[in-house]
């Protein structure tokens, strides 16, 4: 029996380190760093443009005069299929329609990518509203951003020293503070055994 949610379950959680709050059209949203999204999809499917991405992109300017909108139409492809995506964004930055947004093409493609991969489950926790719950965000921070145990890292570095000279060099790479102070006894013991 196949598990239709296998990919979704792998990619639904978002590392809060790559998000920020943003206001779009008066609504506060959680925005995801696009490069993080590209990295996530690359991890699952392979190289962008080769294994996944857009093809047959067309931009329509038919709604600019009436609605200030450029419409993006394209086909999103990935190893297991493809589907059409339609998206839009404003061409002008002001109401008088005099200041063209020179980043509109980049914005519309990036937003279309987010919409396309969300259909496959990428960052689903954000789109399902879970990032509105501070407890959920704290859980994701704990899962993705575990604190580094620098004490162990530096202890291992000192213990890997083969000579007194190497021990001295390794010792100088440890920043001053409580970790270095706590490793002074280990350094002294190693000095007695190394030549």
Tally the residues of the chain: 195
The H or E element that residue 104 is part of is helix 104-118
Neighbours of 116 (CB within 10 A): 24
69 CA to centre of own chain? 28
Does the domain at 6-144 match CATH 3.30.300? Answer given as no
Quick check: 56 and 82 in contact, CB under 8 A? no
| Whole-angstrom distance, CA of residue 27 vs CA of residue 75 | 28
**CA pair distance 170, 175, nearest whole angstrom:** 11
Q: Are 9 and 19 in contact (CB under 8 A)?
A: no
Summarize pLDDT for 130-157 with one digit per residue, the tens: 999 999 999 999 999 887 677 888 889 8
pTM summary value:
0.74
What are the tens digits of pLDDT across the range 26-80? 888 999 999 999 999 999 999 999 999 999 999 999 999 999 999 999 999 999 9
**Residue ranges of domains in the chain:** 6-144, 150-193
State the pLDDT at residue 195: 73
d(CA 156, CA 12) in angstroms, rounded, equals 35
**What confidence score (pLDDT) does residue 1 get?**
53
Q: What is the pLDDT of residue 151?
A: 82
Locate 108 and state its tokens: 């519309």
Q: How far apart are the first and last CA of the chain?
A: 63
Question: For residue 98, what pLDDT band results from cuts at 50, 70 and 90?
Answer: very high
């Amino acid at each position: 029996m196949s598990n239709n949610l296998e990919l979704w379950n792998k990619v639904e959680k978002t590392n809060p380190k790559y998000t920020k709050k943003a206001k779009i059209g008066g609504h506060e949203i959680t925005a995801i760093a696009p490069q993080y999204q590209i990295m996530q999809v690359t991890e699952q499917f392979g190289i962008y443009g080769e294994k996944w991405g857009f093809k047959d992109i067309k931009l329509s300017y038919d709604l600019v005069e009436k609605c200030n909108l450029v419409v993006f139409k394209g086909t999103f492809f990935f190893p297991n299929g493809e589907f059409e995506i339609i998206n839009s964004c404003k061409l002008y930055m002001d109401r008088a329609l005099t200041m063209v947004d020179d980043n509109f093409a980049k914005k519309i493609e990036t937003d279309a990518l987010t919409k396309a991969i969300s259909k496959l489950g990428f960052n689903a926790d954000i789109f399902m509203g879970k990032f509105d719950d501070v407890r959920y965000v704290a859980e994701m921070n704990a899962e993705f951003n575990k604190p580094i145990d620098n004490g162990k890292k530096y202890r291992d570095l000192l213990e890997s020293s083969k000579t007194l000279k190497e021990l001295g060099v390794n010792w100088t790479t440890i920043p001053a503070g409580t970790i270095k102070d706590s490793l002074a006894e280990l350094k002294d013991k190693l000095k007695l055994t190394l030549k």
